[in-house]
């Protein structure tokens, strides 16, 4: 029997888990029970969907036993099982990309957050916190041979032929000194009830019950087996029978989380479409939220039979943070993944669930501001994705998303903004670009501040794409005589674009334009193809210059973002429009000189500093510094 080496990341991972995670060590049992439940789910599905398994005598269960004298804890199931190859692939390597991120989090000192173990899909290895050696004996369903995987969690592992009467997997933990506390009936029972009470399969604990004589010595011993968990489909129970504690325990089990969810939605649909759904919103966003290979958090059942937990078609991509269950009465039990993607019933369930979730989000936003701000802090960007990709529900998303503002602290909504609009104000103004602090100090806002007009601050990259698509905001204002909702609409206007200042009430000043014309012409000549145009600004009060985009062009920030992503083929060559303040000394100095070198330097400094103020980078930073130094020395 040859020693096999762990994948490099597994060795590093085991070292970090064993030496870094000390709190909540009992979660290893939750993870092993969860793995056993998954194995039972897979076999149960095959017994109803695959002819080869339909004659299978299958009574799914999970068994736990311990031997304090032998220092062992055993968790066994009669699920799908694994063969030799699968043992090596499952327990000798980690394929998921999240492993590296997991190790980085631990390496950064995030050692008390044992929640990470479940989040990053490395639950089996957490057992080495309690065991010096682990044996895994497994037999694949419909195969004759069984195999044993053995490891001390250090350098590698061994796999050898073994014996097992039935299909399934047995995990034997040889407990270390720290793990001996888990060879105890009451300890195990409490852990199962806390973490795994709602596992859908029966969990049994076998233990020795002693009878003592008058001297306190063991008189006789009986072996007893008790069921530890409820095992019912919680999502099928009436809400009136459930408490928050029940929901919280179930969430922790399916989400591998140690915290309670932020909130949840439990719904039952009857009639033409029958299904039960239970959705949870985690307090903290899942680690892989913005990975292309994120793991779906919603499980699909049909008539209580588990079908899949790895189908991204179950819910829209923008709701990938959800954890929960959908249980349909109308789908066939042998539905395949390919059929799921085209299935009208599932599509209707998805659409109905989205509507219910958006209604629940609206209720939380209106009735619990603190909780909604917690939600926004984690998932605001996902709501913006929904606004961009789900035009059917765009009005609902527009009411839910939040922004920063030049007028109020914290988050604000479009509805709140419109309630604060000044009399006669026609547009919802917003500014996009870099970080919040930079945007609030932008010269583009000087005229708006002078007029006491609020602007929304949109400092996420996604805002550049999403908000122009929204274009208008529609707000419910009441109900008409026929009971129909009435609306008022406002166009959204980006202050980053030319022409946005025309509605500010700043009157056109022909004299000022004529006076500044020589400077504008000299700057335009000096900058040449670096800009699309040079204009006298109406919006500037203190700053000498600012950059804006043509109304029909994407913003400069968006163009630079696409360039950084290597998407230059999808973005035209966008050149800024430079607006200058005719009353500023730098601009006046250009009008007053014929020194071409000085005009050249000043014009380029006006452009480059306007870029810098907007959080952008000058085309040639070294040349910018040289020009600035020459001006300072002159």
CATH of 369-501 among 3.40.50.300, 3.40.50.11260, 1.20.1600.10, 3.40.50.1370: 3.40.50.11260
Going by C-beta distance under 8 Å and a sequence separation of 6 or more, which residues neighbour residue 133?
150, 151, 152, 153, 174
Q: What pLDDT sits at residue 98?
A: 45
Q: What pLDDT sits at residue 113?
A: 45
To which H or E segment does residue 613 belong? helix 596-613
Q: Which residues are 265's β-sheet partners?
A: 279
Among 137, 131, 133, 125, smallest CA distance to 78 is for 137
Q: What pLDDT sits at residue 90?
A: 81
Q: What pLDDT sits at residue 104?
A: 60
Going by C-beta distance under 8 Å and a sequence separation of 6 or more, which residues neighbour residue 589?
598, 602
Q: What pLDDT sits at residue 111?
A: 43
CATH of 234-367 among 3.40.190.10, 2.60.40.1930, 3.40.50.720, 3.30.230.80: 3.30.230.80
Question: What are the residue boundaries of the structural domains of the chain, listed by start?
Answer: 4-227, 234-367, 369-501, 509-633
Backbone φ and ψ of 300, nearest 5°:
-105, 125
Q: How many CB atoms lie within 10 A of CB 118?
A: 22
Residue with tokens 């130094």: 629
Q: What pLDDT sits at residue 12?
A: 64
Whether 586 and 603 have beta carbons less than 8 Å apart is answered as no
Whether 549 and 427 have beta carbons less than 8 Å apart is answered as no
Residue with tokens 């189908």: 311
Among 280, 264, 275, 265, smallest CA distance to 327 is for 275
Query: Measuring CA to CA, how many Å separate 98 from each of 110, 195, 366, 545, 628?
Result: 16, 23, 36, 46, 47
Q: How many CB atoms lie within 10 A of CB 109?
A: 8
- From CA 634, how far away is CA 632, in angstroms rounded? 6
Whether 206 and 221 have beta carbons less than 8 Å apart is answered as no
Q: What pLDDT sits at residue 17?
A: 63
Q: How many CB atoms lie within 10 A of CB 225?
A: 11
CATH of 509-633 among 3.20.20.70, 1.10.10.10, 1.20.120.790, 2.40.50.140: 1.20.120.790
Question: In terms of DSSP H, where are the helices of 185-300?
Answer: 185-195, 244-255
Going by C-beta distance under 8 Å and a sequence separation of 6 or more, which residues neighbour residue 518?
591
What distance, in Å, lies between the first and last C-alpha atoms of the chain?
83
Whether 618 and 603 have beta carbons less than 8 Å apart is answered as no
Helix, strand, or coil here: 523?
Answer: helix
Q: What is the DSSP string of 404-446?
A: EESSSSS-B-HHHHHHTPPTT--EEEEEESS-HHHHHT-GGGH
Q: What pLDDT sits at residue 167?
A: 94
Low-confidence ranges of the chain (pLDDT < 70): 1-2, 6-24, 92-122, 333-339, 341, 502-509, 556-572
- From CA 259, how far away is CA 237, in angstroms rounded? 23
Q: Which residues are 159's β-sheet partners?
A: 149
Q: What pLDDT sits at residue 18?
A: 62
Tell me which architecture the domain covering 4-227 has in CATH: 2-Layer Sandwich (3.30)
Helix, strand, or coil here: 225?
Answer: strand
Q: Which residues are 73's β-sheet partners?
A: 66, 173
Q: Token pair of 582, please?
A: 């005719």
Query: Measuring CA to CA, how many Å separate 435 from each of 272, 402, 467?
Result: 49, 16, 17
Q: Which residues are 601's β-sheet partners?
A: none
């Amino acid at each position: 029997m040859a020693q096999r080496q762990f994948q490099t990341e597994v060795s590093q991972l085991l070292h970090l888990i064993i030496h870094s995670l000390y709190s909540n060590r009992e979660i290893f049992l939750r993870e092993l029970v969860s793995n056993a439940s998954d194995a039972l789910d897979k076999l149960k599905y095959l017994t109803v969907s695959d002819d080869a398994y339909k004659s299978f005598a299958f009574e799914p269960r999970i068994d736990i036993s311990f031997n304090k004298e032998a220092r062992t804890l055993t968790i066994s199931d009669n699920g799908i099982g694994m063969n030799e190859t699968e043992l090596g692939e499952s327990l000798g390597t980690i394929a998921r990309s999240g492993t590296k991120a997991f190790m980085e989090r631990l390496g950064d000192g995030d050692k008390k957050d044992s929640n990470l173990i479940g989040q990053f899909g490395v639950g089996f290895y957490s057992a080495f916190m309690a065991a010096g050696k682990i044996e895994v004996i497994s037999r694949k369903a419909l195969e004759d041979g069984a195999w044993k995987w053995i490891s001390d969690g250090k350098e590698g592992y061994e796999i050898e032929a073994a014996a097992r009467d039935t299909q399934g997997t047995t995990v034997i933990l040889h407990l270390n000194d720290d793990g001996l506390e888990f060879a105890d009936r009451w300890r195990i029972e409490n852990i199962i009830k806390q973490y795994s009470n709602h596992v859908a399969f029966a969990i049994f604990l076998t233990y020795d019950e002693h009878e003592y004589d008058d001297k306190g010595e063991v008189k006789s011993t009986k072996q007893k087996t008790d069921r530890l968990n409820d095992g019912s489909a919680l999502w099928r129970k009436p809400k009136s029978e459930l408490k928050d504690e029940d929901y919280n325990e179930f969430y922790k089990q399916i989400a591998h989380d140690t915290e309670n969810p932020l909130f949840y939605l439990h719904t039952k649909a009857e009639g033409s479409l029958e299904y039960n759904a239970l959705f949870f919103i985690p307090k903290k966003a899942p680690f892989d939220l913005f990975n292309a290979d994120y793991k779906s958090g919603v499980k699909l059942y049909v008539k209580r039979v588990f079908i899949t937990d790895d189908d991204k078609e179950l819910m829209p991509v923008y709701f990938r943070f959800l954890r929960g269950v959908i249980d349909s009465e109308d789908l066939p039990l042998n539905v395949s993944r390919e059929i799921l993607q085209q299935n009208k019933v599932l599509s209707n369930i998805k659409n109905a669930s989205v509507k219910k979730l958006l209604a629940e989000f609206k209720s939380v936003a209106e009735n619990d501001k603190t909780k909604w701000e917690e939600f926004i802090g984690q998932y605001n960007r996902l709501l913006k994705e929904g606004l961009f990709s789900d035009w059917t529900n765009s009005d609902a998303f527009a009411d839910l998303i939040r922004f920063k503002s030049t007028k109020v602290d914290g988050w604000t909504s479009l509805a709140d903004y419109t309630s604060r609009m000044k009399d006669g104000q026609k547009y919802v103004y917003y500014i996009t670009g870099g970080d919040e602090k930079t945007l609030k100090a932008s010269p583009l806002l000087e005229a708006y501040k002078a007029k006491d007009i609020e602007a929304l601050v949109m400092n996420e990259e996604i805002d550049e794409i999403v908000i122009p698509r929204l274009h208008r905001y529609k707000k419910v204002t009441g109900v008409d005589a026929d009971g129909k909702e009435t609306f008022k609409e406002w166009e959204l206007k980006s202050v980053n674009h030319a022409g946005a200042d025309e509605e500010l009430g700043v009157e056109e000043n022909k004299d000022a334009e004529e006076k500044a014309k020589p400077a504008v012409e000299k700057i335009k000549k000096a900058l040449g193809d670096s800009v699309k145009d040079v204009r006298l600004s109406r919006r500037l009060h203190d700053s000498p210059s600012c950059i804006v985009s043509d109304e029909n062009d994407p913003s400069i920030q968006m163009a630079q973002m696409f360039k950084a992503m290597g998407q230059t083929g999808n973005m035209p060559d966008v050149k800024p429009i430079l607006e200058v303040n005719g009353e500023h000394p730098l601009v006046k100095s250009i009008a007053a000189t014929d020194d071409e070198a000085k005009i050249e330097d000043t014009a380029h400094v006006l452009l480059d500093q306007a870029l810098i103020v907007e959080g952008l980078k000058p085309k040639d930073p070294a040349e910018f510094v040289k020009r600035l130094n020459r001006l300072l020395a002159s």
